[in-house]
Amino acid sequence: MNPNNEQHRKLWAAMIFAIIFCTIGSGFYRNLSAGDNETYKGLQIFSEVIDLIENNYVDPVDSKELIQKAIHGMVNSLDPHSQLLPPEAFKELQIDTEGEFGGIGIVITMQKGVLTVISPIEGTPAHKAGIKAGDIIIKVNDEPTKDMMLWEAVNKMRGPKGESVKITIVRKGAAKPIVFNITRDIIPIESVKYITLKSGFGYIRVTNFQKSTTDDLKSAMDALESEMEMEGLILDLRDNPGGLLTQAIQMSDVFLSDGAIVSIRGRHEEHTRSYNAHDDTQTRLYPLVVLINGGSASASEIVAGALQDHKRALILGTTSFGKGSVQTVESLRDGYGLKYTIARYYTPNGKSIQAQGIEPDITIKHEFINLEEKEGEGEGGLLKEKDLKNHLEAEPDLIIQEIEEETEEGAEEPEKSEDLENTQKRDYRYGPLEIDALMTDNQVVRALEILEGFNILKN
């Protein structure tokens, strides 16, 4: 028997195993027989390429690693949210909705192979150090992040409490990259905070959607209602990156008594369904203003869209992120997982959130007020879904748009001035809620004015 032919057959078998690994193992089957001519031709080319590389490449290569990278490339080319998850990444994904983990506390995404911060998690080492939404992480412990898998970057930044991690970022407006040495801590995922703004008016901040978020929201509302007769509520979803779909539906249901909350539509009937509100014995009819911005994504957009379409709340702020796609995670053999997109979200009025976001009823950019030096956010540097490579369009026939980013060489230490520390203290969204800080936020102040004005007119 010709050794080359034997090796060719082994490689072909390995490749077929890899394809089956991604299909049958994830719970669905697709016929990849010779009858599918284009698929069969593609598999032949794939086999030939592996054979040539393994036998002739300048350095020895690992066939298993080549195949795994090929699968990564195949899945990652679909959209920014689809991934093959090695065992470590699969475990990390399961941790995200549980309650706490060791790390620095940032929500990140991968755009054109570049690691980008969507938002820091409030009260964490990353925010205290000065990491901001829109920062591009170019190195972790001096290792370049370009073309690094998202799970790898997450895994490198997470770790035991007390250990430090070196982060190098590029920031819009900064002449050089900035280096941060951040000490890891236990990152508690406290998703709901609340405070009384003034008699009759409450404020609730929701930072993400985890298993207990709706219950925590109800507890916060019960506490506010026990203190006073509620005349209005501000629900702050700014910089909320999302989380569990079930929690977004349940939170919307708290404020709605009937009608659709969200629908999802995919290629198959089992991926198409509508979720509706239910009549609740506890009626909360007081006026509601919801705050959103470019960091509000996914589950937070579902809540804002449902309340807006039902005219249950006034939406104030700036256009949300636009992450309107549904992902499912299937377990594969050997601890692997496959995360892939199966549908798009639609608001009750049938609008797709994908790459468009929720448009506020009243558009107001965020800035601090009543200070000698105003710290405007501008939000121009915030990354949105439509900026991500291979993002899905609201409808399949729309043209995919990409953005180009450039980084400069060199590095500088982060600013440690008193002005920066004061700015961080004033940015109440990433720390304890304080009345004085809230009343320097023009969006919160405007929302409160609207609620007060509504009650005056109503009376």
Give yes or no: 79 in active site.
no
Rounded alpha-carbon distances, angstroms, from residue 168 to 70, 143, 176: 29, 9, 10
- For helices 245-255 and 213-227, the axis angle rounded to 10 degrees is 30
Catalytic: which of 309, 387, 427, 441? Answer: 309
Residue given tokens 């370049």 in the structure block: 144
Q: What share of the chain is helix, strand, coil (3-state, %, to 5)?
A: 35, 25, 40
CB 219 within 8 A of CB 202: no
Residue 146 CA to residue 177 CA, distance in Å, equals 15
Q: How many other C-beta atoms are found inside a 10 Å radius of the C-beta of residue 231?
A: 18
What is the chain's length?
459
Q: In 305-381, at which residue ranges do the beta strands (DSSP E only) sit?
A: 314-317, 325-331, 337-346, 362-363
Cβ density class 73-89: b for 16+ within 10 Å, e for less = eebbeebbbbbbbbeeb
**Cβ neighbours, 10 Å, residue 118:** 23
3-state secondary structure of 82: coil
The DSSP bridge partners found for residue 85 are 337
Which helix (H) or strand (E) element contains residue 357?
Answer: none
Is residue 298 part of the annotated active site? The answer reads yes
Instruction: Using CA atoms of 168, 169, 170, 172 in order, give the dihedral in degrees to the nearest 10.
Output: -150
* CB contact at 8 A, 53 and 315: no
DSSP secondary structure letters along 253-290: HHH-SSSEEEEEEESSGGG-EEEE----SS---S-EEE
Catalytic one among 323, 339, 384, 386? 323
CA pair distance 48, 60, nearest whole angstrom: 17
Of the candidates 47, 119, 252, 298, the residue annotated as catalytic is: 298
Local structure of 358: helix, strand or coil: coil
Q: Are strands 288-292 and 232-236 parallel, antiparallel or unpaired?
A: parallel
Residue 387 is a catalytic residue: no
How far is Cα of residue 273 from the mean position of the Cα atoms in its chain? 22
The catalytic residues are: 298, 309, 323
